[in-house]
């Protein structure tokens, strides 16, 4: 497989995952608003902070309100991680890899692009946001399903899986971070316990993890089991450890993968170790931040191993 | 109001492909015409809408270069197909094969003994001044003696419906993916008609292209590695490059993905290291192929590619230098070329052509600029030409100067009575619009012609310019067998 094609497939997978995750992230906050007591003043701006987009956001908006945050995350072309920008990137990547992905991928991506372009306002206004986000998430799953049922399990697939899992691992840490950021805003009052539970519950739901969590942990919802589940569960496909294990498996099937495997295993080990934490508040956000940096490092190792065409 | 063929405004002096006289469809088009007039206005509007959304979903686009930047436009498409009977088509197809075979013998001769010049059939200066003759190719013998493996020949029909060749495109002809996509669109838009009419399928083109390319591989007996070499995403035909690579299971590569090693073989850079490439279907012009030989500033090409090709370590389709026969002055000699190499009469005629380097013919051209179409010898895409009857006095004066300054570079042809076909111009209104046809001919070990080709239509009333870069659209092309009933 051509190095350049590999790089594009990898990015297509990352962007696809990013679109779905961004839609999920917005939907957590959207749903939280229904359930939290009215006294809680939830900051939409947290979503900008956890995605490390403060500077980009400040360049565009002064008012850190819901409308601007949602607009920035869904429809802003100057934000490289917005749904609209990611769709643009995914189209370019699929267009240039049409020889390795199933032909229908291109059609589905075009359909999703047209939908997002035509219905963006729905996503920004709160009244129809749920429907919009649902459509986006379902379309991403449809594309994933197509790839999963049609692609030969060759190098192209392994690269695709690397892209999907690295993005998933990263986004799971950001979802956790979003939850913790919201919890830190809750004041200690009569509603605090309930509010915390509501927030953790929504973090789980946003990752489709509530049912698997109940069955695996047999516990009520609170910080410690939720964080442990989302970082270290070995069966749940969005847990950080699971994603890293998948990456190891994909890398093992690819040529010249020794350095990549070694690097992933190192991150894997550090995730397990950090789950020994007891307090999942402000301090744990630093742990998550370090993890995000480590995942970014993995990305560089992958690029150096397989993508650089000037090797 | 439904479509009423009695009201169809046939144009005097032009052959209409579907309608022979008011209210009467030609035999192969009869079922379609009846079906269309059975549809209500709303039905037709919804079919048109279905076509548009299909085009959008399939992402069929082409790039237009403007001053504001490159725009990806949706493919303009008319839902009424153009129909040709199969026995008429079979004759045209035989003529196209004959033509390409002769052209390949001609190109091979030019790069070897130049017998045709020594025998006085073609004047030597035509070759000497040809922009697309490549000295670097002299003495090289590509497999089967074939240089132009893929040819897109533009056909037009006169007022009697006879086919004429307007030009041969032997460099990097494009459009075949649109031919294939047009058919997929039509199957979704008018599925009922496909049940009733015997329409020859077109979908096997990628298979034939693959087999042809595979037949060129220097490592016969092994599975060939075939690559489509594209200039990249900003090229107007990128959609097609990706489409063909996908349909053939070939690698889609850019120059930077390839390299030529010390052993003069071509390799592509893969995640596992270097892998040898056997056949390159190149979609970049000669001048950009190899910066070592041609344009040294080219970043699209591959240094050393010509070396690898001339040693026979990689096949290039089309071969460098094949464009020499693409010259519109050479075009005027094709009937002679066919007689010279094949000893046969041409099965499809040329359009009458005046060569401006000839004093007498130039006089005639200069005196009749308002009636003629003047074309530069080596342009494509409809650029740089003068359409006499639609020109201003100033434009004619400019062209007169251009012709006098460089007569070898210009030819002129009578304004053609380009045939028409019914085209949907509003919800329920059809009017005749002019069209041409670009079939694609392949030659490797064997010769193959597409069933029909890409029909391009000038969407503007009265216009004769069909190029998509200049406001043209397209139609599906049906080759219909009327002798066999569809059960």
Each residue of B79-99: pLDDT tens digit? 999 999 999 999 999 999 999
What band does B268 get if pLDDT is binned at 50, 70 and 90? very high
Edge-to-edge strands of the sheet including B410-414?
B354-355, B410-414, B372-376, B386-387
Give how far Cα B308 sits from Cα of A114, B131, B262, B487, Å.
45, 24, 10, 54
Of A2, A254, A311, the CB nearest to B257: A2
Name every chain B residue with its beta carbon within 8 A of the beta carbon of A311. Answer: 269
Q: Tell whether the model's pLDDT for residue B299 goes beyond 80.
A: yes
For an interface test with B, the pick among A89, A98, A311 (most B C-beta atoms closer than 10 Å) comes out as A98
Tell me how close the Cα of A147 comes to any Cα of chain B, in angstroms.
15
Cβ atoms of B329 and B158 closer than 8 Å: no
Q: Which chain B residue shows the shortest CA-CA distance from A1?
A: B270
Q: Which chain A residue shows the shortest CA-CA distance from B248?
A: A99
Give how far Cα B154 sits from Cα of B96, B168, B178, B443, B468, Å.
10, 6, 15, 17, 14
For an interface test with B, the pick among A4, A88, A91, A99 (most B C-beta atoms closer than 10 Å) comes out as A99
Of B57, B250, B256, the CB nearest to A99: B250
Q: Buried (b) or exposed (e) across A136-162, using 16+ Cβ within 10 A? A: bbebbeebbebbeeebeeebbbbbbbb
Q: What is the mean pLDDT of residues A37-51?
A: 79
Each residue of A73-125: pLDDT tens digit? 999 988 988 999 999 999 889 888 877 888 889 889 989 998 998 999 998 88
- Whether chain B has a CB inside 8 Å of the CB on A117: the answer is no
Q: Tell whether the model's pLDDT for residue B125 goes beyond 80.
A: yes
pLDDT of residue B469: 67
Q: What percent of chain B has a predicted confidence (pLDDT) above 90?
A: 74
What band does B487 get if pLDDT is binned at 50, 70 and 90? very low
- Whether chain B has a CB inside 8 Å of the CB on A128: the answer is no
Q: Tell whether the model's pLDDT for residue A310 goes beyond 60.
A: no
What band does A143 get if pLDDT is binned at 50, 70 and 90? very high
Q: What is the mean pLDDT of residues B256-260?
A: 95
Tell me how close the Cα of A307 comes to any Cα of chain B, in angstroms.
7
Q: Tell whether the model's pLDDT for residue B470 goes beyond 80.
A: no
Q: Using DSSP, state whether B431 is helix, strand or coil.
A: strand
Give me the sign of the Cα torsion angle B414, B419, B424, B426: positive
Helix (H) or strand (E) holding B437: strand B430-438
pLDDT of residue B2: 83
Q: What is the mean pLDDT of residues B398-408?
A: 91
Q: What is the mean pLDDT of residues B270-284?
A: 96
Name every chain A residue with its beta carbon within 8 A of the beta carbon of B206. Answer: none
Q: How far apart are CA A30 and CA B3, in angstroms?
A: 52
Q: Tell whether the model's pLDDT for residue B485 goes beyond 60.
A: no
Tell me how close the Cα of B58 comes to any Cα of chain A, in angstroms.
5
CB atoms closer than 10 angstroms to residue A285? 17
Q: Using DSSP, state whether B411 is helix, strand or coil.
A: strand
What band does A311 get if pLDDT is binned at 50, 70 and 90? very low
Which of A191 and A120 is assigned the larger pLDDT?
Answer: A120
A48-52, B259-263, B325-329: which is most confident = B259-263
pLDDT of residue B260: 97
Name every chain B residue with its beta carbon within 8 A of the beta carbon of A98. Answer: 242-243, 245-246, 252
Query: Among the listed ranges A182-196, A260-274, B246-260, B293-307, which one has the minimum average pLDDT value?
Result: A182-196
Q: Using DSSP, state whether B448 is helix, strand or coil.
A: strand
For A134, the token pair is: 């649902």
Q: Tell whether the model's pLDDT for residue B394 goes beyond 70.
A: yes
What band does A292 get if pLDDT is binned at 50, 70 and 90? very high
> Exposure of B306 by Cβ count < 10 A (0-12 exposed, 13-18 middle, 19+ buried)?
buried
Cβ atoms of B153 and B439 closer than 8 Å: yes
Pick from A261, A263, A216: which is nearest to A239 by CA?
A216
DSSP string, A105-164: HHHHHHHHHHHHHHHHHHHHSSTTHHHHHHHHHHHHHHHHHHHHHHS-SSHHHHHHHHHH
Q: Which chain A residue shows the shortest CA-CA distance from B253?
A: A2
* Residue carrying structure tokens 């591989």: B217
Q: How far apart are CA A90 and CA A13, in angstroms?
A: 8
- Alpha-helix residue ranges (DSSP H) falling in B197-259: 205-215, 238-248
Q: How far apart are CA A177 and CA B292, in angstroms?
A: 55
pLDDT of residue B384: 80
For an interface test with B, the pick among A1, A4, A8, A87 (most B C-beta atoms closer than 10 Å) comes out as A4
pLDDT of residue B389: 86
Give how far Cα B311 sits from Cα of A305, B123, B142, B275, Å.
33, 31, 10, 18
Q: What is the mean pLDDT of residues A185-202?
A: 83
- Binary contact (B245, A255; C-beta < 8 A): no
Q: Which chain A residue shows the shortest CA-CA distance from B225?
A: A1
Name every chain A residue with its beta carbon within 8 A of the beta carbon of B245. Answer: 98-99
Q: Tell whether the model's pLDDT for residue A197 goes beyond 80.
A: yes
What band does B221 get if pLDDT is binned at 50, 70 and 90? confident
In DSSP terms, B479 is beta-bridged to B84
Rg (CA), chain A: 19
Cβ atoms of B63 and B72 closer than 8 Å: yes
pLDDT of residue B448: 97
Name every chain B residue with its beta carbon within 8 A of the beta carbon of A2. Answer: 251, 253, 257, 268-271
For B93, the token pair is: 């197809």
The domains located in chain B, with CATH, are: 97-146+203-342 (3.40.50.11290), 355-414 (3.30.1490.270)
Pick from B358, B453, B380: which is nearest to B155 by CA?
B453
Residues of B engaging A, defined by a Cβ cutoff of 8 Å: 56-59, 233, 238, 242-243, 245-246, 249-254, 256-257, 268-273
- Binary contact (B59, A159; C-beta < 8 A): no
Of B254, B256, B271, the CB nearest to A1: B271
- Binary contact (B271, A306; C-beta < 8 A): yes
Q: Using DSSP, state whether B368 is helix, strand or coil.
A: coil
B124-128, B177-181, B346-350: which is most confident = B346-350
- For B266, half-sphere exposure in the C-beta direction (CA atoms, 13 angstrom radius) is 35
Each residue of B135-161: pLDDT tens digit? 999 999 999 999 999 999 999 999 999
- Binary contact (B251, A5; C-beta < 8 A): yes
Q: How far apart are CA B189 and CA A80, in angstroms?
A: 38
pLDDT averaged over chain A?
90
- Binary contact (A110, B250; C-beta < 8 A): no
* Residue carrying structure tokens 């033509």: B99
Q: What is the mean pLDDT of residues A28-43?
A: 76
> What is the DSSP pairing of strand B61-66 with strand B69-74?
antiparallel
Of B56, B268, B269, the CB nearest to A110: B56
Query: Among the listed ranges A13-17, B414-418, B420-424, which one has the minimum average pLDDT value?
Result: B414-418
User: What residues 172-231 of chain A have any CB closer than 8 A to a CB of chain B?
Assistant: none
Give how far Cα B93 sits from Cα of A14, B32, B164, B421, Å.
48, 24, 12, 21
- Binary contact (A96, B233; C-beta < 8 A): yes
What band does A269 get if pLDDT is binned at 50, 70 and 90? very high
Q: What is the mean pLDDT of residues B324-341?
A: 94
Q: Which chain B residue shows the shortest CA-CA distance from A158?
A: B271
Q: Using DSSP, state whether B438 is helix, strand or coil.
A: strand
- Whether chain B has a CB inside 8 Å of the CB on A1: the answer is yes
Tell me how close the Cα of A255 comes to any Cα of chain B, in angstroms.
5
> Exposure of A38 by Cβ count < 10 A (0-12 exposed, 13-18 middle, 19+ buried)?
exposed
For an interface test with A, the pick among B245, B271, B273, B276 (most A C-beta atoms closer than 10 Å) comes out as B271
What proportions of chain B, in percent to the nearest 5, are helix, strand and coil? 35, 25, 40
- Whether chain B has a CB inside 8 Å of the CB on A106: the answer is yes
- Binary contact (B271, A114; C-beta < 8 A): no
Q: What is the mean pLDDT of residues A263-267?
A: 97
Q: Tell whether the model's pLDDT for residue B227 goes beyond 90.
A: yes
Of A2, A111, A155, the CB nearest to B268: A2
- Binary contact (B252, A256; C-beta < 8 A): no
pLDDT of residue B259: 96
CB atoms closer than 10 angstroms to residue A25? 23
Q: Which chain A residue shows the shortest CA-CA distance from B242?
A: A98
Q: Using DSSP, state whether B476 is helix, strand or coil.
A: strand
């Amino acid at each position: 497989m051509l190095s350049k094609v590999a790089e594009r497939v990898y990015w297509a997978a990352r962007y696809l995952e990013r679109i779905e995750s961004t839609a999920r992230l917005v939907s957590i906050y959207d749903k939280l608003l229904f359930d939290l007591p009215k006294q809680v003043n939830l900051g939409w701006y947290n979503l900008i902070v956890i995605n490390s987009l403060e500077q980009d956001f400040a360049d565009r908006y002064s008012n850190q309100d819901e409308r601007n945050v949602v607009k920035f995350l869904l429809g802003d072309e100057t934000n490289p991680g917005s749904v609209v920008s990611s769709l643009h990137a995914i189209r370019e990547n699929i267009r240039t890899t049409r020889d390795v992905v199933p032909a229908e991928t291109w059609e589905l991506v075009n359909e999703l692009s047209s939908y997002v372009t035509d219905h963006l306002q729905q996503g920004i206004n709160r009244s129809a946001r749920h429907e919009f986000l649902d459509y986006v998430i379902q379309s991403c799953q449809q594309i994933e399903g197509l790839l999963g049922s049609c692609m030969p399990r060759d190098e192209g697939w392994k690269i695709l899986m690397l892209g999907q899992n690295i993005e998933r691992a990263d986004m799971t840490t950001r979802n956790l971070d979003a939850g913790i950021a919201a919890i830190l805003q809750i004041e200690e009052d009569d509603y605090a316990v309930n509010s915390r539970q509501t927030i953790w519950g929504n973090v789980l739901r946003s990752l489709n993890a509530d049912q698997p969590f109940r069955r695996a942990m047999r516990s009520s919802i609170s910080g410690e089991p939720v964080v442990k589940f989302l970082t270290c569960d070995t069966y749940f496909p969005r847990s950080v450890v699971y994603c890293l294990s998948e990456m190891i498996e994909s890398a093992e099937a690819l040529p010249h993968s020794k350095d990549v495997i070694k690097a992933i295993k190192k991150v894997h080990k550090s995730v397990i170790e950090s789950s020994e934490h007891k307090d999942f508040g402000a301090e744990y956000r630093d742990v998550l931040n370090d993890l995000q940096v480590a995942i970014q490092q993995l990305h560089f190792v992958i690029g150096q191993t397989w993508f650089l065409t000037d090797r | 109001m439904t479509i009423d063929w009695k009201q169809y405004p046939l144009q005097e002096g032009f052959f209409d492909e579907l309608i022979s006289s008011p209210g009467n469809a030609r035999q192969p088009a009869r079922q379609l015409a009846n079906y269309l007039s059975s549809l209500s206005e709303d039905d037709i509007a919804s079919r048109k809408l279905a076509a548009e959304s299909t085009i959008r979903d399939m992402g069929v686009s082409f790039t237009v270069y403007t001053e504001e930047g490159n725009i990806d436009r949706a493919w303009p498409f008319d839902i009424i197909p153009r129909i040709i009977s199969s026995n008429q088509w079979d004759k045209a197809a035989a003529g196209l094969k004959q033509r390409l075979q002769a052209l390949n013998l001609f190109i091979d001769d030019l790069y070897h003994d130049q017998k045709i010049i020594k025998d006085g059939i073609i004047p030597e200066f035509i070759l000497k001044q040809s922009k697309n003759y490549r000295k670097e190719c002299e003495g090289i013998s590509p497999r089967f003696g074939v240089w132009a493996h893929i040819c897109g020949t533009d056909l037009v029909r006169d007022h009697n419906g006879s086919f004429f060749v307007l030009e041969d495109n032997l460099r990097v002809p494009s459009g075949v993916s649109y031919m294939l996509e047009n058919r997929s669109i039509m199957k979704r838009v008018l599925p009922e008609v496909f049940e009733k009419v015997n329409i020859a399928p077109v979908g096997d083109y990628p298979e034939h292209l693959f087999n042809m390319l595979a037949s060129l591989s220097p490592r016969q007996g092994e599975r060939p590695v075939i690559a489509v070499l594209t200039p990249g995403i900003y090229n107007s035909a990128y959609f097609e490059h990706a489409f063909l690579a996908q349909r053939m299971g070939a690698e889609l590569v850019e120059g930077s993905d390839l390299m030529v090693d010390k052993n003069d073989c071509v390799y592509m850079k893969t995640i596992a290291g270097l892998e040898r490439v056997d056949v390159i279907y190149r979609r970049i012009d000669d001048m950009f192929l190899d910066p070592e030989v041609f344009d040294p500033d080219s970043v699209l090409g591959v240094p050393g590619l010509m070396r690898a090709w001339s040693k026979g370590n990689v096949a290039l389709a089309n071969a460098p230098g094949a464009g020499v026969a693409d010259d519109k002055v050479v075009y005027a000699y094709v009937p002679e070329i066919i007689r010279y190499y094949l000893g046969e009469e041409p099965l499809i005629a040329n359009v009458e052509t005046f060569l401006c380097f000839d004093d007498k013919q130039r006089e005639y051209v200069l005196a009749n600029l308002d009636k003629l179409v003047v074309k530069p010898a080596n342009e494509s895409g409809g650029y740089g030409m003068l359409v006499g009857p639609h020109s201003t006095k100033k434009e004619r004066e400019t062209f007169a100067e251009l012709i006098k300054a460089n007569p070898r570079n210009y030819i002129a042809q009578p304004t053609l009575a380009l045939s028409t076909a019914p085209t949907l111009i509003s919800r329920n209104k059809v009017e005749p619009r002019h069209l041409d046809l670009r079939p694609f001919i392949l030659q490797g070990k064997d010769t193959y012609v597409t069933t029909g080709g890409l029909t391009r239509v000038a969407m503007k009333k009265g216009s004769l310019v069909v190029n998509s870069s200049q406001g043209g659209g397209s139609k599906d092309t049906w080759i219909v067998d009327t002798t066999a009933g569809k059960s």
